[in-house]
Amino acid sequence: MANLPALRPWLCLLAAMAAASAPWPPADALGMNWGTQATHPLPPKIVARLLRDNGIKKAKLFDADQETLSALAGTGIEVMVAIPNVMLDTMTDYDTAKEWVRRNVSRYNFDGGVTIKYVAVGNEPFLATYNGTFDKVTFPALQNIQNALNEAGLGDSIKATVPLNADVYMSPKDNPVPSAGRWRADITDLMTQMVQFLSNNSAPFTVNIYPFISLFLNDDFPVNFAFFDGDATPLVDPGNGVSYTNVFDANFDTLVAALKSVGHGDMPIVVGEVGWPTDGDKHATSAYAQRFYNGLLKRLAANAGTPARPNQYIEVYLFGLLDEDIKSVAPGNFERHWGILRYDGQPKYPMDLSGQGQNTMLVPASGVEYLPRTWCVVNTNAGSDAMEKLADNINYACTFADCTALGYGSTCGGMDSNGNASYAFNAFFQVQNQKDEACGFQGLAVPTQTDPSTTTCNFTIQISTTSAGHRRPLGVAVFVLAQLLLLLLLLH
């Protein structure tokens, strides 16, 4: 029987992990997640240039958008294209999978084309909160995509993989240490089969690891254990005597143990997502993000590896490149603030992607066009009758715009009701491309050319529609619905 008092620190760590889930090389060792869930996404050509300007040589996408891939053509940037979860069921038909490979991979395989390295089949499809929705379709889709790549003569250089959340593996409650890592009980057989298939095709295991989530979900989690600067009290794995000083290593090595348990302890592992948000939670700050990346990037540059795989290169994709203002906030308000850059491609804080600690601001996006310098703020001259409707109008604005910065512990938290109203009204006004009728709110709002931003709270000016990217995933539907509700509000 394990010594449970001695293992008690690991129980806390395990719970957090289950819920979350050459020397000095330049940034070509790093990849970057490029998400586009924004009302006004940057144009793909601007983002592709942004990646190159910062020496980023790998990009992980969440779809296979034609304009995005065209922008990446000829750049030499290695790309992971993706099949969204909602398409997995269709990929269980082999002919459909072959056609997808033809249209989204083979067509770009030419001199001066797109350097596609991976195809991501789904995104965290076995997440426990999905309750098995994609369990029966993911592995057949993976098989069909890889077999289609093989048939097209691309299988040697392009591998299909499945980015998985760290909740697919864990350690037993009576032995919650990395060396005891195993697959989650409900998907053990599925994971065993899938790992064997990946191995047969020399494809990597891809996992998303988020130390921030450990901190977010557990107030008792030791803060320093989320970082890499050695300030945490070490936890010793009694199974092998290894000492751990950060949750990333412990999480990664739990996966190594799970792979080893099914005979594939040497399988290549790609960290598909790892990062730290800067807003939307008390722990989501630029200072913490900078601390996290400083430690992570130095370790990656030195090929430090982890205790289970010491002195080894780890392929890592940071999450993410840009803030996304219509990402789901179901996990938390921080979801819209993962970017190392703002929504418009401007840097948030100094960082050195080479891992040498020479922190300077990243090269910002160039050629970005903005809407006029006009904000929408609360009308302090509104009558008392109108002010009684202030809360309802704030709620309306925040239903169709991003107000996550107003939350407790966030950059705009703590303002009075007028400040909250101004932030909400302006957020909605910008999403609506500064249309006159979008700054009414039953007489509670007025436009202004005076920037209402404070030292901590930024009132944004949105990217102009001539500069913003062509796609607005969910954004178009939200925009139309907001217009209809705005009309009803005006008529009320």
**CA-wise closest residue to 249 among 239, 238, 237, 259:** 237
DSSP per-residue string spanning 32-57: EE----SSSPPPHHHHHHHHHHTT--
Give the integer Cα–Cα distance in Å for 268 and 261.
15
Q: Is 437 annotated in the active site?
A: no
Q: Residue written as tokens 């790609």? A: 270
DSSP track, 347-397: BSS-B-TTSSS--BPPPPP-S--B--S-EEEE-TT--HHHHTTHHHHHHHH
Q: Taking a C-beta distance cutoff of 8 angstroms, is the pair 114, 152 a contact? A: no
Tell me which amino acid residue 56 is: I
Q: DSSP assignment of 172-195, as one string? A: -TTS-SGGG-EE-GGGHHHHHHHH
Count of residues in the chain = 492
* Residues contacting 487, CB < 8 A, separation 6+: none
- Per DSSP, the residues of 238-296 read TTTTEEE-SHHHHHHHHHHHHHHHTT-TT--EEEEEE---SSSSTT--HHHHHHHHHHH
Please indicate whether residue 273 is annotated as part of the active site: yes
Residue of 273, 315, 324, 335 marked active site:
273
Written as one letter, the residue type at 203 is A
> Which one is catalytic: 78, 124, 315, 335?
124
What is the dihedral angle through the alpha carbons of 167, 169, 175, 178, rounded to the nearest 10 degrees?
-100
- Measured distance CA(33)–CA(118) in Å, rounded: 13
DSSP three-state, residue 83: strand
**CA separation for the pair 39, 354 (Å, rounded):** 32
Return the structure tokens found at 436: 């006159």
Residues 6 or more apart whose CB falls under 8 angstroms from that of 140 comprise 91, 92
- Cα angle: 469, vertex 473, 478; to 5 degrees: 110
Between CA 427 and CA 39 the distance in angstroms is 11
Q: Sign of dihedral through CA atoms 410, 417, 342, 42?
A: positive
Q: Which residues are catalytic?
A: 124, 273
